[in-house]
């Protein structure tokens, strides 16, 4: 058990199974510089939104990565349901993390040029708020949830990298799917 892995992930069966698999390399959030990804490392990291993250990846037999997220109600759109835009950002994050961790970008970095997201079922977060019937909430929802985003390498075509991803809830049910296309930056230019 890696010492820097938040305990909440070890208490969630789908996450603990991944953490126990010796074929994966763990990348604890504390080992990633905050300046490398300000949206997920600073902006979304609040006491009510993204509470903890942990990334694991393997390179063989085919590149695959998993982003474990411990989320609070700050990521919700509708009552108790993760916001679709947040889930799209998670898909971009897990696919990009896979490319960076496995070196598919050859150290140059990549740009997301397409992200096609499909919403299959709601991703529930914590307990929903209770409504008085008049549209006024009596109390705020409580609790947190663990979700797991998985990315797998599709194919490489020149500078383009195709990655597929899914988000699963703590029970392992597929809730969101995505197909992403990244383009490798040109050397020295830093642009497409």
pLDDT tens-digit readout, 56-106: 999 988 999 999 999 999 999 998 999 999 999 999 999 999 999 999 888
| Res. 191 pLDDT band, cuts 50 70 90 | low
Residue 97 class from Cβ within 10 Å (0-12 exposed, 13-18 middle, 19+ buried)? buried
Start-end of H helices in 21-83: 38
Judge whether 137 lies within some domain.
no
Whether residue 178 is preceded by a cis peptide bond, meaning omega within 30 degrees of 0, is no
Judge whether 150 lies within some domain.
yes
> pLDDT tens digits for 12-23?
899 999 999 999
Judge whether 19 lies within some domain.
yes
| Res. 39 pLDDT band, cuts 50 70 90 | confident
Q: In angstroms, rounded to a whole number, what is the distance separating the alpha carbons of residues 149 and 162?
A: 16
Residue that the structure tokens 């390179």 belong to: 59
DSSP state of 29: G
CATH number, position 103: 3.10.129.10
pLDDT score of 134: 42
> pLDDT tens digits for 114-136?
999 999 999 999 865 544 444 43
Judge whether 190 lies within some domain.
no
| Res. 27 pLDDT band, cuts 50 70 90 | confident
For the chain, how many structural domains are there in total?
1
| Res. 159 pLDDT band, cuts 50 70 90 | very high
Q: In angstroms, rounded to a whole number, what is the distance separating the alpha carbons of residues 86 and 9?
A: 20
Judge whether 87 lies within some domain.
yes
pLDDT score of 128: 55
Judge whether 161 lies within some domain.
yes
pTM of the model: 0.86
| Closest CA relative to residue 50, chosen from 82, 23, 21 | 82
Judge whether 26 lies within some domain.
yes
Structural domain of 55: 7-128+142-184
pLDDT score of 189: 57
Judge whether 1 lies within some domain.
no
pLDDT cut 90: percent of the chain above it: 59
- Name the token pair of 5: 């892995």
């Amino acid at each position: 058990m890696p010492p820097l892995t938040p305990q909440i992930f070890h208490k969630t069966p789908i996450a603990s199974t991944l953490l126990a698999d010796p074929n994966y390399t763990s990348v604890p959030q504390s080992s990633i510089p905050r300046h490398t990804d300000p949206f997920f490392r600073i902006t979304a990291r609040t006491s009510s939104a993204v509470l903890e993250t942990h990334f694991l990846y393997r390179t063989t037999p085919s590149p695959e990565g998993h982003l474990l997220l411990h989320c609070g109600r700050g990521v919700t759109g509708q009552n108790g349901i993760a916001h679709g835009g947040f889930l799209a950002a998670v898909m971009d994050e897990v696919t990009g993390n896979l490319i960076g961790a496995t070196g598919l970008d050859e150290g140059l970095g990549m740009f997301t040029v397409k992200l096609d997201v499909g919403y299959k079922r709601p991703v529930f977060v914590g307990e929903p708020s209770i409504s008085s019937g008049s549209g006024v909430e009596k109390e705020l929802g409580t609790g947190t949830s663990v979700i797991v985003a998985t990315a797998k390498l599709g194919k490489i075509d020149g500078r383009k990298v195709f990655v597929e991803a899914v988000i699963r809830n703590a029970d392992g049910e597929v809730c969101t799917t995505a197909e992403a296309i990244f383009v490798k930056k040109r050397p020295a230019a830093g642009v497409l």
